[in-house]
Each structure stands twice: as structure tokens, then as C-alpha cells.
């Protein structure tokens, strides 16, 4: 298994930093006000029928 390079780590941080979801209506295990920052979870939620339960925010 190859070790992650700095560029791969930077790309992962960039994906987390530029896309965060905040739950506005509870669904699944998420409650109102929860933040979803994991890039894989964000992509999965946005592609699901629950996308309208979230709002995209830009991290400060």
C-alpha cells in the first residue's frame, strides 16, 4: 500500500474546506444544525433524495 503524498493530503483538506453542509430538516441519523464535512458523505447526501434537507455553507 502506497503512503499518501502531501499533494493528496492537501487535496483532501481542500475538499473538506470548500464544501460543508448544514442540516436544516432532520433525516436519517442527522439532526437540525448538524454539519456534514466529510467529502464522501457530502457527495452521498447531495446525490440522494435528502439533498433538499441541507444547505451548502462556505467555511470561514
Name the phi and psi angles at 31, rounded to 5: -115, 160
Distance CA 3, CA 51 (A): 34
pLDDT at 15: 54
Regions of the chain where pLDDT drops below 50: none
pLDDT at 59: 72
pLDDT at 2: 57
pLDDT at 1: 52
pLDDT at 32: 98
Distance CA 13, CA 22 (A): 18
pLDDT at 39: 86
CA 31 vs CA 5, 15, 18, 25, 27: distances in Å: 35, 23, 22, 7, 7
pLDDT at 36: 94
pLDDT at 19: 80
Name the phi and psi angles at 36, rounded to 5: -115, 115
Amino acid at each position: 500500500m502506497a503512503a499518501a503524498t502531501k499533494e493528496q493530503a492537501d487535496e483532501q483538506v481542500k475538499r473538506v474546506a470548500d464544501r460543508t453542509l448544514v442540516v436544516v430538516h432532520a433525516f436519517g441519523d442527522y439532526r437540525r444544525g448538524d454539519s456534514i464535512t466529510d467529502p464522501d458523505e457530502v457527495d452521498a447526501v447531495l446525490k440522494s433524495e435528502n439533498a433538499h434537507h441541507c444547505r451548502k455553507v462556505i467555511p470561514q
